[in-house]
A = this chain, B = another copy of it.
Amino acid sequence: MNPELRKDPVIDRWVIISTDRGKRPHDYPQPPRRVDPSKCPFCPGNEAATPPEVSAIRDPNTQKDMPGWEVRAISNKYPALRIEGDLNREGVGIFDKMNGVGAHEVIIETPQHDLSLSDLSIARISDVFGVSQGRMTDLERDPRFKYLMLFKNEGEAAGASLEHSHSQLIATPVVPKRVQEEIEGCKRYYAYKERCIFCDIVRQEMRDRERVVDENSDYLVLSPFAARFPYEIWILPKDHRASFHKMTREERNALADILRRALRRFRVTLNDPAYNMMLHTEPVGNSHEHHFHWHLELIPKLTRVAGFEWGTGFYINSTSPEQAAEHLREVRSEQLEAVTPMSTVQQRMRESA
């Protein structure tokens, strides 16, 4: 069955029913895909095991889909949404559904199987963002797509299915609920104050300092006032910026610097946690330039989400953002630089946490 988007008729929440990944009942819980590095589809030499590359940073003397790359973007072999087809909407009695049209790409962040994103140099991390920007610029030309969600799952506890470091980009034919809620909130605030709410948050947090983790010329790292999870942090441009993929090369280098430090703070303070990273950026079409402000949300995977959270949408956080910021802030520069690459064995241990 082709992927299908279905809408909950009560709360307007879309889900993707994607049964190509389909399983029999006893296939759950899904075992992690432990691959011998020599057979890892994301390692150089195994390019034929993935769909063709759509973009790469590679040695100019090398060929597409061959070794010689530093960052490589491909279509996902098991896409949640399919690139082919039109956006037919259809009613099923009181229910609504839509073809599961979209794009699902993977950005392989390094040729080295054993390195994590935070092990890379600032220049290399900047390259990873550069490839993401390029893919977003390309995908936003497709009129079927309303939103581009860039995210990263690191470690099995955070939902990574392959250990080789990668991020993912999914183009969706509707603006996701969670992003739409942020946009509505930003609009309401802008209508009232004629200022961007995130700009005001940045200003207040830079004055208060107690939730600030780190900063550089262009970015602020903070633990948000109403953090859902222990040690949740956000990275925001200090100046007003609506679209992630329109950042300049200088802004990208500064982001690579601050993200690398943030991830290393996690590693020192939280003992190499699994984590999720999600980008919230302006939806395709440029209509929220004044009131929306892009940001990265980082959630180390330290606790389990349980019935209360599922039932209410409330979260119970057992570490205050002020405590979290303090613990992350107190990591010294020498400690950040002394972080050594994780071996695959360490990664596996972390993944079983």
Residues of A within 8 A of B (CB): 1, 4, 6-19, 21-26, 28-30, 80, 92-95, 147, 149, 151-153, 156-160, 168, 170, 172, 176-179, 181-182, 184-186, 189, 197-198, 200-201, 204, 208, 224-228, 230-231, 269-271, 273, 276-280, 297, 299-308, 310-321, 323, 327, 353
Instruction: Name 27 interchain pairs, CB-CB below 8 A, sorted by A.
Output: A6-B225, A8-B225, A9-B189, A10-B185, A10-B189, A11-B181, A11-B182, A12-B185, A15-B315, A17-B227, A17-B321, A19-B320, A19-B323, A23-B230, A25-B327, A80-B308, A93-B208, A94-B201, A94-B204, A95-B204, A149-B308, A151-B307, A151-B308, A158-B306, A178-B311, A278-B307, A278-B311
Contact flag A307-B178 (CB < 8 Å), given A21-B318, A317-B16: no
Q: Which residues of B contact A151 (CB under 8 A)?
A: 306-308, 310-311
In the complex, residue of chain B having the shortest beta-carbon distance to the beta carbon of A167: B307
Flag if A186 contacts B327 (CB, 8 Å): no
Q: How far is it, in angstroms, between the C-alpha of A231 and the C-alpha of B172 when the chains are bound?
A: 24
Known contacts A197-B10, A319-B22, A312 near B276 by CB under 8 Å: no
Give bound CA distance, A10 to B327, whole Å: 26
Whether the pair A311, B182 counts as a contact (CB closer than 8 A) is: no
Chain B residues within an 8 Å CB radius of A16? 314-317
Give every chain B residue within 8 A of A273 (Cβ-Cβ): 28-29
Measured between C-beta atoms, what is the minimum distance from A314 to chain B in Å? Answer: 5
CA gap between A179 and B312 in the complex, in Å: 6
Chain B residues with CB under 8 A of A8: 224-226
Q: Find chain B residues with CB under 8 A from A13 CB.
A: 226, 228, 313-315
Q: Which residue of B lies closest to A270 (CB)?
A: B25
Q: A interface, by DSSP: helix, strand, loop or mixed?
A: mixed
Known: A149-B308, A302-B28. Contact between A320 and B17, CB under 8 A? yes
Complex Cα gap A280–B8 (Å): 15
Q: Give the chain B neighbours of A1 by CB distance below 8 A.
A: 320
**B225 and A9 within 8 A (CB):** yes
Known: A311-B278, A327-B25. A304 touches B231 (CB 8 A): no
Give Cα A22 to B179, complex, Å: 30
Shortest Cβ distance from A228 into chain B, in angstroms?
5
- Extra contacts besides A8-B225, A22-B320, A80-B308 (9): CB < 8 Å: A6-B226, A7-B226, A11-B178, A15-B226, A15-B314, A16-B314, A21-B318, A29-B273, A149-B311
B residues less than 8 Å from A301 (CB atoms)? 29
A318 and B22: CB pair below 8 A?
yes
Given known pairs A208-B93, A316-B18, the reply for A271 and B26 (CB within 8 Å) is yes
Which of B11, B14, B182, B310 has a CB less than 8 Å from the CB of A185?
A: B11
Minimum CB–CB distance for A188 against chain B, Å: 9
B176 touches A225 (CB 8 A): no
User: In the complex, what residues of B have CB within 8 A of residue A327's CB?
Assistant: 24-25
Chain B residues whose CB sits within 8 angstroms of the CB of A304 once the complex forms: 156-159
Which residues of the partner chain B approach A159 to less than 8 Å between Cβ atoms? 304-307
